[in-house]
C-alpha cells in the first residue's frame, strides 16, 4: 500500500477505498516511534477543503479493537504533546501546510467473517475512528488485495475531542 502511494504522488486514498471526507490522503511517514509509548504504523495527511491535518493509521493483521483504540488515543496525545515537531515533519514530507489542531484516526484490518459487530461500529463512531477492512481474512501470503471502509468515514476532530 505504501509503495503504491509513493508511486501515486503519495496518495493512499484510492488504495483504502475512500470516496469522501478526504480529497487526498497523503502518505507522510511510517513507523513513528514515541519512545516507550509505542510506534504508529502510518502518519498520513488528510487534505480536505484546502486544509490538511494528520491522520493516524494503524495497520493490523488481526482484529484487536481495544488495543488499537488505546494505541490511537496514545498516539493522538503524543501528536498534541509534540505538535510543533510533528507539524514540521509532516509539512516537510508532503510539502504543504498541516494543521495539527485536528486529527483523523483509522484502523485497517482483515475482513470480518459475517457482518461487523454493531459494538465495534458504535465504539469507533464514538471515537471518530474510521474502520477499513481488506477483502481477505488473512494477509499472510497474499500478494494483492483491496480495502474498503466499514460503516462511516469520519472527518478529523479537534485533538482531545471525540464524538458524543
d(CA 101, CA 109): 27
For residue 86, give the nearest of 53, 108, 39 by alpha carbon: 53
pLDDT for the residue numbered 140: 67
Would residue 83 count as lying in a domain?
yes
* 164 pLDDT more than 60: no
Domain extent, residue 42, equals 2-158
Is the torsion defined by CA of 148, 153, 156, 160 positive or negative?
negative
Going by C-alpha positions, the residue among 104, 114, 112, 150 that lies closest to residue 131 is: 150
Q: Collect contacts of 47-50 with beta carbons under 8 A, ≥24 apart.
A: 47/22, 47/23, 47/96, 48/21, 48/22, 48/23, 48/155, 48/156, 49/23
How many domains are there within the chain? 1
- 48, part of any domain: yes
The answer to whether position 164 is within a domain reads no
Residue 82 forms part of a structural domain: yes
What pLDDT does residue 91 have? Answer: 96
> Per the domain annotation, does 74 fall within a domain?
yes
Tell me how far apart the alpha carbons of residues 32 and 153 are, in angstroms, rounded to a whole number. Answer: 24
Which tops the pLDDT comparison, 134 or 52? 52
> What is the predicted pLDDT for the residue at 104?
93
Three cell numbers written together for 139: 494477509
Start-end of H helices in the chain: 2-6, 65-81, 83-94, 118-126
CATH code for position 24? 3.40.1350
| Residue from 145, 122, 127, 119 nearest 15 by CA | 145
Answer yes or no: is 9 within a domain. Answer: yes
User: 149 in a domain, yes or no?
Assistant: yes
Question: For the chain, how many residues are written?
Answer: 164
The answer to whether residue 163 is domain-embedded is no
Q: Is the pLDDT reported for residue 43 higher than 60? A: yes
Amino acid at each position: 500500500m505504501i509503495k503504491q502511494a509513493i508511486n501515486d504522488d503519495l496518495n493512499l486514498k484510492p488504495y483504502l477505498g475512500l470516496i469522501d471526507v478526504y480529497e487526498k490522503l497523503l502518505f507522510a511517514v511510517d513507523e513513528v516511534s514515541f519512545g516507550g509509548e509505542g510506534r504508529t504504523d502510518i502518519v498520513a495527511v488528510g487534505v480536505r477543503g484546502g486544509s490538511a491535518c494528520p491522520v493516524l493509521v494503524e495497520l493490523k493483521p488481526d482484529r484487536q479493537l481495544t488495543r488499537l483504540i488505546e494505541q490511537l488515543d496514545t498516539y493522538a496525545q503524543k501528536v498534541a504533546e509534540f505538535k510543533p515537531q510533528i507539524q514540521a515533519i509532516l509539512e516537510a514530507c508532503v510539502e504543504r501546510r498541516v494543521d495539527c489542531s485536528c486529527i483523523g484516526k483509522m484502523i485497517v484490518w482483515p475482513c470480518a467473517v459475517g457482518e461487523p459487530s454493531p459494538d465495534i461500529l458504535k465504539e469507533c463512531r464514538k471515537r471518530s475512528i474510521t474502520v477499513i477492512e481488506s477483502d481477505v481474512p488473512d494477509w499472510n501470503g497474499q500478494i494483492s488485495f483491496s480495502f474498503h471502509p466499514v460503516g462511516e468515514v469520519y472527518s478529523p476532530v479537534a485533538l482531545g475531542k471525540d464524538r458524543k
